[in-house]
Chains A and B, each alone.
Chain A
């Protein structure tokens, strides 16, 4: 009787916990851009000056600056990650104007201060690069006002000596500011500047001053970025994919559970219940670990449901075999569980090996898929081996599963000992 109560308690309590927490959990699953719509770009960073190497630090700084800029664009939770030694993946949800995003992300790639070196063919051309974006302090450019209330841009450099040398050499000559190959402004150097700061006059235009300030700050971005891959998914399309795929998963799950019950009767029910617990746990892990669920991830999720019950199939087939050979239910369950455990572990571990390799070599979608698969297999060992076995044993020990027909076996199939 105690065991019956324990059994009922476990089932009722776990069902209640699942029913109570699931709506909240589902709301908190972090969805990938392919499901909620958004814009993803993979950049490859290369140094503006040839020959230099992309350092870990500069890559991180670039990523950080991209994130700041993405935040400025007002996108919700921009996700910027570095990959390998020279790549940055940028994920933006709810972008309405991709063209603007791309422009903003890429344009400030190379800020240079230039002077003339005599090779110019045009008066508005400056060929000698004196200073580059990285020479300027990050976020060092500020909007200032003169006493005449004229807007000017105050800038700050990292090396005072270098700036002093440049301003001394170019005193009275123009020092042109270039963004990529576009001349923005070519102020004339008015004095030798030794304290590492300067102000640039833009002719009283406030908007122009603001733009110059932003461009110089953005220009402190140390690396040049080239787009290697991009994906943009409309929000409606993403939602539609999610809905369709989940529906497909629900249909498949119901059929799998029906199959299990039809084949294995009571143990099939346990397998079905364990499967529900398994799915709930998987969602829980995703929310807790803050993993992002992508469409291939959902696919892995659903395939994994089919894989999780494999453990039950193998175990129950083995138990039935033992019952058929004439063993009592109790010893058949024991022997079946013991023998099938090794098979189940071997087959799960080989799948984990492949999933781990996929995770190591994959990027983006492949990684997401592999991650779900690994988590799922590990969880299935807990739920579809241990948990369903635990429930089954409670009932067997309580003497409730004493007949072979509960395992889907006819008495006539049992061999006499």
Chain B
């Protein structure tokens, strides 16, 4: 374990970041392609329609339920997912009150112990939710830029924002590529990732700032070393802080309630990308920005 630490700590993060940039850019392009072609697999939270989630006391099959849907004339576009003592049906059209009521009655005839969760969203509401989410992301970013610019400097803010937008987008990309369902809690997850993934970044930036104060950097090489040194000093604590939240998210995903499964999954993915990006994207990016500034006075003198 400790020899492992040493290996990680002696890595040239700035140099390695080239490969990670390539990795991240590839994934981003891939994500964009998937988003453009397939979009996201929206749940009813974003698409007008109804979603009926059932917890059953015995296993029902699609064959048993489909006739009910046909009888109620709601079988068109109905999408059945059958699980162990669970079943969810998604309707692309909003169920009216009578249909909703009759469906429950019929299911209760098959299984008297069934418990339901029915979600219905008007298309207007769905659009509003998505719009608010985008506003929230933008305003959060502006807030972080302002705060980090005041506390650090604008280069840190830019590097931090790139890293956190990267994390958020990676989650969106992974959800698009693997066709995971995007519901309202997904928005919460993405926003939380934006809020939290910056924590790791701040830990490292804080150390860079501190080291800057005590070091004289004349050349880009000095700066290069300072960044590597700062990252290696803080890499373990940055990973540990991410790990504790990861434990929480991971167990929520494994054992938590069904309706926050996708939320937890998004958190797990986001936390992994968050830890990765603060080490391999944010700090090297700051180095790139800073060394551009460094070069000017160097040439002049």
Interface residues of A (CB under 8 A from B): 34, 37, 42, 98-99, 102-103, 227-237, 240-242, 244-245, 247-249, 251-253, 255-256, 259-260, 263, 295-296, 298-300, 302-303, 305-307, 309-310, 313-314, 317-318, 321, 339, 342-343, 346-358, 360-363, 365-366, 369, 373
| Residue in B101, B113, B125, B206 whose beta carbon sits within 8 Å of that of A342 in the complex | B206
Q: Which B residues touch A230, using CB under 8 A?
A: 118-120
Q: CB-CB < 8 A to A248: which residues of B?
A: 251-252, 254-256
CB neighbours (8 Å) of A347 from chain B are 198-199, 202-203
Nearest chain B residue, comparing its CB with the CB of A35: B257
Asked if B248 is an interface residue, CB under 8 A from chain A, the answer is yes
Give every chain B residue within 8 A of A306 (Cβ-Cβ): 244-249
Option from A228, A235, A302, A353 in Cβ contact (under 8 Å) with B143 = A353
Cα(A260)–Cα(B206), bound, Å:
23
- Chain A residues positioned under 8 Å from B246 (CB to CB): 306
CA A240 to CA B115, docked complex, whole Å: 10
Given that A235-B115, A255-B247, A317-B236 are known contacts, is A365 also in contact with B125, CB under 8 Å in the complex? no
Bound: A361/B124 CA distance, A:
16
Residues of B within 8 A of A (CB): 53, 55, 97-98, 100-101, 113-122, 124-125, 129, 132-133, 135-136, 139-140, 143-144, 147-148, 151, 184-185, 187-188, 191-192, 194-196, 198-199, 202-203, 206, 210, 233-234, 236-237, 240-241, 243-252, 254-260, 263-264, 267
User: Can you pick out 20 interface pairs between chain A and chain B where the beta carbons lie within 8 Å of each other?
Assistant: A103-B97, A228-B125, A229-B119, A241-B256, A241-B259, A249-B256, A256-B248, A296-B263, A302-B252, A307-B199, A321-B233, A347-B202, A349-B147, A350-B195, A350-B199, A357-B136, A358-B188, A360-B136, A361-B132, A361-B133
Known: A103-B97, A347-B202. A307 touches B117 (CB 8 A): no
Tell me, in angstroms, the Cα distance from A242 to B260 when the chains sit together. Answer: 11
Name B257's contact: one of A244, A260, A303 (CB within 8 Å): A244
Q: CB distance A249 to B243 under 8 Å?
A: no
A351–B252 touching, CB < 8 Å: no
Say which residue of B125, B196, B256, B257 sits within 8 Å of A307 (CB atoms).
B196
Q: A98-B100, A259-B247 are in contact. Are A346 and B252 (CB under 8 A)?
A: no
Please tell me if the beta carbons of B143 and A313 are within 8 angstroms of each other in the complex: no
Contacts A357-B139, A362-B132; A351 near B256 (Cβ below 8 A): no
Asked if residues B191 and A354 are in contact (CB atoms below 8 Å), the reply is yes
A295 to B135, CA, bound (A): 24
**5 closest Cβ contacts across the A-B interface?**
A354-B195, A234-B115, A241-B257, A306-B245, A306-B248
Beyond the given A234-B117, A360-B139, please list 19 additional residue pairs across the A-B interface where CB-CB is below 8 A: A228-B121, A228-B125, A231-B117, A231-B119, A237-B115, A241-B258, A244-B255, A244-B257, A248-B252, A255-B247, A260-B244, A302-B251, A307-B196, A350-B144, A350-B147, A354-B194, A357-B191, A358-B188, A373-B195
A313 adjacent to B241 (CB under 8 Å): yes
Interface of A is mostly: helix
Q: Which residues from B are CB-within-8-Å of A366? A: 184, 187-188, 191
In whole angstroms, what is the CA distance A259 to B184 when docked?
32
A249 to B249, CA, bound (A): 9
Most B-side CB within 10 Å, residue of A233, A259, A361: A361
Measured in the bound complex, the distance between the Cα atoms of B188 and A295 in whole Å is 12
Contact residue among A240, A303, A321, A352 (Cβ-Cβ distance under 8 Å from B55): A240
Q: Is the CB of B240 within 8 A of A317?
A: yes
Q: Are B143 and A34 in contact (CB-based, < 8 A)?
A: no
Contacts of B255 in A (CB 8 A): 244-245, 247-248, 251
Q: A256-B248, A302-B248, A302-B252 are in contact. Are A98 and B101 (CB under 8 A)?
A: yes
A249 to B116, CA, bound (A): 24
Q: How far is the CB of A378 from chain B (nearest CB, A)?
A: 14
Contacts A102-B97, A236-B55, A353-B147 known; A245 to B117 CB distance under 8 Å? no
CA distance A247 to B144 in the complex (A): 34
Q: Which of B98, B122, B198, B260 contacts A351 (CB 8 A)?
A: B198
Compute how far the CA of A42 lies from the CA of B255 in the bound complex, rounded to whole angstroms: 30
Instruction: Determine the chain A residues whose CB is within 8 A of the CB of B116 once the complex forms.
Output: 232-234, 237
Cβ 8 A contact of B184, one of A309, A314, A317, A365: A365
Of B101, B121, B206, the most chain A CB neighbours within 10 A belong to B206
Assembly CA distance A256 to B245 (angstroms) = 9
A361 in contact with B248 given A231-B117, A310-B199, A313-B241 (CB within 8 Å) = no
Residue in contact with A227 in the complex, picked from B122, B191, B210, B233, CB distance below 8 Å: B122
**Cβ–Cβ contact B195 & A351, under 8 A:** yes
Residues of B within 8 A of A309 (CB): 241, 244
Residues of B within 8 A of A305 (CB): 248
Of B98, B206, B251, the contact of A251 (CB 8 Å cutoff)? B251
B143 engages A354 (CB within 8 Å): yes
